[in-house]
Amino acid sequence: MSFDGLIIFSLLPNPWSNAPLKSLLKNWNTVKNHIKRYRYVLLCLDYDGTLTSIVRSPKRALLADTTRRLLDKLSHEPRYIVCIVSGRSLKDVKKLVGLEGLIYAGNHGLELEVPRLRFVIPRASETKPLLKRIADKLGSELRDIPGSSVEDKGLSLSVHFRCVRRGDLQRVKLIFEEITRPYLLRGEIRIAGGKKVFEVRPPISWNKGKVVTWLLKRPAIMGKTEITLPIYVGDDLTDEDAFRALLGKGITVYVGRPNTSSKAEYYLANVREVKSFLRKLADLK
């Protein structure tokens, strides 16, 4: 997809499909029986829009205590390996979840922490000075557009426009394109879109799907000796990389309206249904 095509796609709602996803809760018996065939489950969860509702400011996306307790309970069950896979920085998402013993993948998997081990994908750190310069330029040009914000996450950066007035959206797009295009054409960065956000990342072929696949091939670092069943739950365009990577290999769950073009097999309508699913997993014997 071209640069222009990607940005325009990011500004539009997710396209509809004629093949609706299956409700996970209505098909719980089928899902339950599938899970029970495996000794271990790698449970991967996005944060924003999955564990917490989408809010106007990312800083207000706080995890409910009931959800935190469910995650804590699951992490202490021998069957589950709980992994939070987020576009947020590792430091940020760890602080928001506030639980030890989980796997955390920040910046779409560019930085990863498993118990007793933390590392950054090679080459990702090399782009940090360039991303800082781009963030400064974007911040300077966008400062006069109400509702826009630039988030420097170290290994990547985000331009948020959820709170931008409709009449200013095209201006945000043009500023973003003008500043990032030279770096993109030189292969110094990669561009991605999400829900009301533009992403600038290092020029590395790495995403949420690849980090989950990487984990599945290394059960030893998770303290396991057997292959695990992956379950991935997410709501954003960036989670589609994981849905595609796990096609036919695990259980994939889109959070949101069911009639989307998502590559997931099942859906949960909202954060409340995600919590119901987590509760069912915790009660599964």
pLDDT tens for 188-199 read: 999 988 888 999
Nearest to 252 by CA among 223, 222, 280, 212: 212
Question: Which parts of the chain fold into alpha helices (H)?
Answer: 3-11, 28-35, 65-75, 90-97, 128-142, 169-185, 208-216, 240-245, 271-283
Question: Is 46 a catalytic site residue?
Answer: yes
- Identify the active-site residue in 46, 92, 235, 241: 46
Architecture of domain 125-201: 2-Layer Sandwich (3.30)
Q: What is the predicted pLDDT for the residue at 19?
A: 59
Query: For the segment 81-116, what is each residue's pLDDT rounded down to a tens digit?
Result: 999 999 999 999 999 999 999 999 999 999 999 987
The strand pair at 22-23 and 266-268 is best described as parallel
Dihedral sign from CA coordinates of 106, 110, 115, 116: negative
* Interior/surface letters 137-162, b for 16+ CB within 10 angstroms, e for the rest: ebbebbeebebbbbbbbbbbbbbbbe
Residues of the chain with CATH 3.40.50.1000: 8-117+206-283
| SS3 category, 81 | strand
Residues of the chain with CATH 3.30.70.1020: 125-201
DSSP state for residue 52 in the 8-state scheme: B
Q: What is the predicted pLDDT for the residue at 12?
A: 36
Q: Does domain 8-117+206-283 have CATH number 3.40.50.300?
A: no
d(CA 92, CA 87): 10
Structure pTM? 0.87
Q: Which of the residues in the chain have pLDDT under 50?
A: 1-18
Question: Cα dist. 136→11, 153, 204, 256 in Å?
Answer: 23, 13, 22, 34
Q: What is the dihedral of CA 119, 121, 123, 128, to 10 degrees?
A: -70
